Amino acid sequence: MRKTTLLRKMLEAREPLVMCGAYDALSAILIERAGFKAIQCSGFGIAASMIAKPDVGLLSYGEMLDQTRRIIQAVDLPVMGDGDTGFGAAVNVVRTVKEFEACGAAGINLEDQVFPKRCGHLEGKEIISEEEMIGKIQAAVDVREDPDFIINARTDAIAVSGIEEAIRRGKAYAKAGADLIFVEAPQNRDQIQRIVKEIDAPISINLFDAVKGGKTPILSIAELKELGVARVSIPVGVVFAAVRGMENFLEVISRQGVAPDRTDLVVGFDYWKDVVGFEEVKELERKYLPKRVVESKYGSRR
């Protein structure tokens, strides 16, 4: 089954599908190993890891596409790309969707913010007109080659114009052909319930980091399932966890130099080799390198 078709079926099931945000190939591998069924590329996390800057539209189209390609190649799961605003107008959306689909993405997020955009949980957002966003969605639908490639239309209207405008836009975006509607930063459970009930399309809700939360209230996955949510994205939890882990390690090492008793701070080297597939490298060497070279590296294998 194509990854696009698999992703579509999981979204239609409305279990809901929980998608953590990967920011590089390694984080994607860890999400896959943890048992998740699909991955969301996190523009927030990619900006943080690549240039240590906030998610305010500083990454270029090429940088985002290249990192998305690396993430896709690292795992066997369906991966949704983060297309931001499409990196411009509808004409830009055409190229963005074509290239993200060509690199193996199973879908793409497109949002109705003014370019350059910013993280949905930051202040100071601006949105384009509903008519312009509809044109972007129509362009995305028209140029995708695989009809199962997911167009996830995001609206940031709640922060700018309120819940009524967000729901109205969500309805319009679904009518324009979007497969999934992502209403960013609802303020309470009642708003989530209204969004799911009033928009005739699968709905995505963003739980930000799933621990401390952003502007969206943290509801349990069971409660979101009861409400009928199709997808739950957790876009920044992984990168936040990575930062906390690195800070914990660096604080201890800067204070005491070495910490042989703090094995909780790091993974073991054997585990690391397993994560990055070192045994697969050895097998390829045994298959393709001269026998004498392999034996000089690893000794004879009986």
- H-helix or E-strand spanning residue 233: strand 231-234
Query: Which residues touch 173 (CB under 8 Å, ≥6 apart)?
Result: 112, 133, 134, 137, 153, 155, 181, 201
Query: Which residues touch 33 (CB under 8 Å, ≥6 apart)?
Result: 275
The predicted structure's pLDDT at residue 127:
93
The predicted structure's pLDDT at residue 50:
97
Rounded to two decimals, the pTM is 0.94
Contact 227, 196 (CB under 8 A): yes
Cβ-count burial of 20 within 10 angstroms (0-12 exposed, 13-18 middle, 19+ buried)?
buried
- H-helix or E-strand spanning residue 247: helix 237-256
Map out the domains of the chain as residue ranges: 3-236, 243-298
Looking at the chain, the whole-number percentage of residues with pLDDT higher than 70 is 99
Contact 96, 85 (CB under 8 A): no
Residue 250 to residue 134: CA distance in whole angstroms: 48
The predicted structure's pLDDT at residue 302:
45
Query: Which residues touch 257 (CB under 8 Å, ≥6 apart)?
Result: none
62-99 b/e (C-beta count within 10 Å ≥ 16 → b): eebbebbbbbbebbebbbbbbbbbbbbebebbbbbbeb
248: amino acid identity, one letter? N
243-272 b/e (C-beta count within 10 Å ≥ 16 → b): eeeeeeeeebeeeeeeeeeeeeeeeeeeee
The predicted structure's pLDDT at residue 216:
87
Contact 24, 85 (CB under 8 A): no
The predicted structure's pLDDT at residue 122:
67
Segment 118-155, tens digit of pLDDT: 776 767 788 999 999 999 999 999 999 999 999 999 99
Segment 232-268, tens digit of pLDDT: 999 999 999 999 999 999 999 999 999 999 999 999 9
The predicted structure's pLDDT at residue 298:
86
Backbone phi, then psi, for 266, in 5-degree steps?
Answer: -140, 160
Backbone phi, then psi, for 67, in 5-degree steps?
Answer: -70, -35
The predicted structure's pLDDT at residue 123:
72
Tally of helices (H runs) and strands (E runs) in the chain: 14, 8
The predicted structure's pLDDT at residue 115:
83
Please provide the DSSP assignment of 73-131 as one string.
HH-SS-EEEE-TT-SSSHHHHHHHHHHHHHTT-SEEEEE-BPSS---TTSS---B--HH
- H-helix or E-strand spanning residue 18: strand 17-22
What architecture (CATH level 2) is domain 3-236? Alpha-Beta Barrel (3.20)
Residue 85 to residue 156: CA distance in whole angstroms: 11
Q: Which residues of the chain have pLDDT under 70?
A: 120, 122, 301-302
- H-helix or E-strand spanning residue 180: strand 180-183
